[in-house]
Structure 1
Amino acid sequence: MIQRIQTVYLLLSGLCAVLSWKIPFGKVELLNQPVKVYVANDSFPLTLLMILAILLAIIAIFLFKKRRLQLRLSWLGFLVGAVTLFLEYSIVHGFQTQAAPVQRAYYWIGIALPVLMMLFFLLAALGIRRDEKLVRSLDRLR
């Protein structure tokens, strides 16, 4: 299970989802108020998406004997990362286009976590596909 590189990629994608609860993806400066930071657990849809990404990564790790299902879960995790990135972008962009009370809204380092999560799910899917091709070629030789 751990000998396969896609297991490491799936672990890293789950770690990115966990870190998004702590590392802010955006900061908003309101007039005469302290800076407000936004993390994934500030929004209910983002929290659900992060929980889903963590579960997909963990389940895919333990489905190492069912490579086709593992591949589908990896692609689904990639899509979850894309939706997460879109939601985080739209939250900060919504503050940027807002009028008077918002002095400044900007992205923070946590906006890269969904991109990394998508990258790791993609690398895991490519590794799983490579394993599937290898098993099929060995089955032809038998």
Structure 2
Amino acid sequence: PPASLPTPTHVLHLTFSNSEKTIFAPIHRDIWAVKTRLFARTESTNPGCGTTLFARTESINPPLPYQTLWPILYDYIYTSSTVAVLADLLKHQVPPSPFSAEPPEVQQYQMSALVAKLERIRRLWHNAAALGVEDEALWLVMARAWGVWLAELME
């Protein structure tokens, strides 16, 4: 989170279904409560805790499917920068093929690269869904990036 924010109220203890890695991410309840359903689930699973649940730093353990796309989502929650998300999802153009002589191999290489780009968007979508992200702008920017790569795939 940006240094200008107060002390984080919670820590996300993230585990990923596609990785053995664990990440501890400091978060601020008010920001995450506006952008996700993360705290709605926490409050409903801890009935009777009321405000005392948030009076100290609590650990929340939401399982996420994909570790590699976590930084994009984390940054977005704090910055709301659809420009940064779109730039990240579109920044890697399809690389030139290492196969210069064989057109079928070139086409297959380019197709695989495009499918990998679509897969990144799909993984970000799954992470956002797992956290219950309710920010429509994020969903729209993912749809836009998907459309760009899908159009290139169809050419």
The normalised TM-score by structure 1 is 0.39
Q: Select the structure with the greater relative contact order (CA < 8 A; seq sep ≥ 6).
A: 1
More helix by share: 1
